Amino acid sequence: MEKKQTAMTEAVYYILLSLQTPNHGYGIIQNIIQMTEGRLELGAGTLYGAINTLLNKGWIQLYSEDKHSRKKKQYLMTEEGRQALRQEIKRLEELLENGRRFLGEEVHDEEVSTVL
């Protein structure tokens, strides 16, 4: 049986997506802006608070640290983080499926605001 986890915050979800390859804080912020087309822009406090949480959970790891560069630390998602991300995607798919079933129709992004 799969271990249950609580829902991820949107910030954690996008940070994990940004760390499929090694990345540093500024790069993570830029990836998230690009993925969300500017809708979500994390502040440094939110980003580094989430990074500390993810390090403690073992979902990401320190990949490299360069004391002579502005890109001081790079992080990378671990296999545990990848599993957590897969579980979250499954949870989100269930949410969408149940919402569409409840509404009795396929709902697209443009229609959501008019239906709800």
Residues 56-95: pLDDT tens digits?
999 999 999 877 766 589 999 999 999 999 999 999 999 9
* Domain parsing of the chain, residue ranges: 10-104
Which tens digits make up the pLDDT trace of 21-33? 999 999 999 999 9
SS3 assignment for the chain: CCCCCCCCCHHHHHHHHHCCCCECHHHHHHHHHHHCCCCCCCCHHHHHHHHHHHHHHCCEEEEEECCCCCCCEEEEECHHHHHHHHHHHHHHHHHHHHHHHHHCCCCCHHHHHHHC
Phi-psi category of residue 100: left, alpha or beta, with phi > 0 → left and psi -120 to 50 → alpha: alpha
Question: Residue 68's pLDDT is what?
Answer: 74
Q: Predicted confidence band at 115 (pLDDT cuts at 50, 70, 90)?
A: very low
Cβ pair 71, 62 in contact under 8 A: no
Query: Could you tell me which CATH number the domain at 10-104 has?
Result: 1.10.10.10
Give pLDDT tens digits for 36-56: 999 999 999 999 999 999 999
pLDDT tens, residue by residue, 91-107: 999 999 999 988 886 55
Query: What pLDDT sits at residue 89?
Result: 96
